[in-house]
């Protein structure tokens, strides 16, 4: 006679019949962790895991995350706002987590299990390194908590996350303001030809303005602070 409770039955929990429970767990467990840390909302940094520590983009990501974390910590409310969050891996992700950590702020990593397993970088706040099986649940937490997004040069994963956010904003499924920076104008101009999309009639001319393009940490910082101050500062908490 099987006396193992269903939620202790590893065979059942890992079966297709329990898929809904696993999906729900990837909503509830992160939610509990974010609440335990008092994390209100985030600034999400995307970019390639292959970016080397001696590259200009690594250093720019590190500096921008550092400055945004300092600014956030100095807010009069004392709330844990605009926490730098990444995919938790190396490269651009490590740089952003590192900058936030060096500014002595909270910083989160939202990782994913993939065949080429990536390890957590060393700069994520203890207790805020999360691991997901389902890409769509991972991307839900990126989008749900975010009040701004910074995309550095990256590959398929970065493009996937960028275009999902742009689609949500364009279709107004994401109702909150979402400042989006494309950092690295030469890269992004070559990889995504927004003007060609307009010319072919597949996006509207105003859709090009959904992103702010720059190569300057100073410009990125000033623009994000202005946008967050205007649109998000008095609106703590996660929302779509």
- Write out the chain's pLDDT in tens, 240 residues: 567 888 888 998 999 999 999 999 999 999 999 999 999 999 999 999 999 999 999 999 999 999 999 999 999 766 789 999 999 999 999 999 999 999 999 999 999 988 765 678 999 999 999 999 999 999 999 999 999 999 999 999 999 999 999 999 999 999 999 999 999 999 999 999 999 999 999 999 999 999 999 999 999 999 999 999 999 988 777 777
CATH number of 39-231: 3.40.50.450
CA distance 40 to 20: 27
Distance from the Cα of residue 112 to its chain's centroid: 13
**Residues whose CB is less than 8 angstroms from the CB of residue 225 and which lie 6 or more positions away in sequence, other chains included:** 68, 71
Structural Rg of the chain based on CA atoms: 19
Domain regions of the chain by residue span: 39-231
Can you give the pLDDT at residue 79?
A: 75
Count of alpha carbons within 13 angstroms of residue 87, beta-carbon side: 26
Bridge partner residues of 85 (DSSP): 44, 108
Can you give the pLDDT at residue 3?
A: 78
- The b-or-e profile of 113-122 (16+ CB within 10 A means b, else e) is eeeeebebbe
Q: What does residue 183 show for φ and ψ, rounded to 5 degrees? A: -95, 120
Mapped onto helix, strand or coil, the DSSP state of residue 49 is coil
């Amino acid at each position: 006679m099987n006396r193992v409770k269903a939620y202790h039955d590893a065979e059942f929990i890992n079966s297709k019949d329990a898929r809904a429970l696993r999906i729900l767990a990837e909503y509830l467990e992160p939610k509990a962790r974010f609440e335990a840390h008092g994390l209100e909302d985030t600034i999400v940094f995307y970019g390639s895991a292959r970016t080397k520590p001696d590259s200009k983009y690594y250093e720019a990501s590190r500096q921008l995350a550092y400055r945004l974390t300092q600014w956030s910590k100095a807010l009069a409310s004392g709330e844990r706002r605009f926490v730098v969050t990444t995919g938790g891996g190396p490269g651009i992700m490590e740089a952003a987590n590192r900058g936030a950590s060096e500014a002595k702020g909270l910083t989160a990593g939202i990782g994913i299990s993939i065949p080429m397993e990536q390890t957590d970088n060393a700069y994520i706040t203890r207790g805020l390194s999360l691991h997901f099986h389902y890409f769509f649940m991972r991307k839900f937490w990126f989008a749900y908590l975010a009040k701004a997004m910074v995309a550095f040069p990256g590959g398929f994963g970065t493009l996937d996350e960028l275009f999902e956010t742009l689609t949500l904003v364009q279709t107004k499924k994401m109702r909150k303001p979402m400042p989006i920076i494309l950092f690295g104008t030469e890269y992004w101009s070559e990889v995504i030809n927004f003007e060609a999309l307009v010319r072919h009639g597949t996006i509207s001319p105003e859709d090009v303005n959904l992103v702010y393009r720059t190569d300057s940490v100073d410009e990125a910082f000033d623009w994000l602070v202005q946008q967050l101050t205007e649109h998000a500062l008095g609106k703590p908490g996660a929302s779509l």
